């Protein structure tokens, strides 16, 4: 039976990326993402907003791009997969687990003139919004649009 593990999120960064490096030199960044959901009003009630806070781990060049250009409050597109981390609590000895997202592609959102929510509108040195692969290296430009003859429908 086939299975799919794919997550697509758009939300605001809850903090600046925290980058570290593995002993072999691979960049790892942890970010927090706040994703909002608007719940329509029900009979006489008010419209509500529900916020979910999600931990995301980025690897390689993706982590470096996030660390360099993404700031707290900025909207961010994240594409990745779910991963269950399990460990044993040192104090209690109990098994613990946490579901998180491993981000494989990101795209910085917002305009250069502001609306990036925390950038102060001054990231003209940043590259154009792009999707970066989590595997380090590779081209920094998005793939070219397919020709009409290449689209199968």
Model confidence pLDDT, tens digit, residues 103-145: 999 999 876 544 444 333 333 334 444 444 444 444 444 444 5
Higher pLDDT pick, 66 / 113: 66
pLDDT at 41 over 50: yes
pLDDT averaged over every residue in the chain: 78
**What mean pLDDT is predicted for residues 80-85?**
93
What superfamily in CATH does domain 7-39+48-134 come from?
A: Nucleic acid-binding proteins (2.40.50.140)
Which pTM does this prediction carry?
A: 0.65
Q: Per-domain residue ranges for the chain?
A: 7-39+48-134
Q: How far apart are the first and last CA of the chain?
A: 26
What does residue 65 show for φ and ψ, rounded to 5 degrees? -65, -45
Q: Cβ neighbours of residue 140 under 8 Å, at least 6 residues apart?
A: 127, 130, 132
Two tokens at 153?
A: 């429908």
Burial-class residue 35 by CB neighbours within 10 Å (0-12, 13-18, 19+): middle
pLDDT of residue 112: 56
Q: Cβ neighbours of residue 126 under 8 Å, at least 6 residues apart?
A: 68, 69, 108
**What mean pLDDT is predicted for residues 85-92?**
88
CA Rg, the chain, in Å? 18
Spatial separation of the C-alpha atoms in residues 66 and 60, rounded to whole Å: 10
């Amino acid at each position: 039976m086939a299975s799919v593990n794919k997550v697509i999120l758009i939300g605001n960064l809850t903090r600046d990326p925290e980058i570290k490096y593995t002993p072999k030199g691979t960049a790892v960044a942890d970010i927090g993402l706040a994703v909002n959901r608007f719940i329509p009003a029900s009979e006489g009630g008010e419209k509500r907003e529900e916020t979910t806070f999600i931990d995301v781990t980025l690897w390689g060049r993706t982590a470096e791009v996030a660390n360099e250009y993404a700031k707290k409050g900025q909207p961010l597109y994240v594409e990745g997969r779910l991963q269950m981390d399990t460990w044993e609590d040192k104090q209690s000895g109990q098994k613990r687990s946490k579901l998180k997202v491993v981000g494989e592609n990101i795209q910085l959102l917002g305009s250069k003139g502001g609306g990036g929510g925390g950038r102060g509108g001054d990231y003209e040195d940043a590259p154009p919004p792009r999707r970066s692969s989590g595997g380090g290296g590779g081209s920094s430009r998005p793939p070219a649009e397919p020709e009409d003859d290449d689209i199968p429908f």
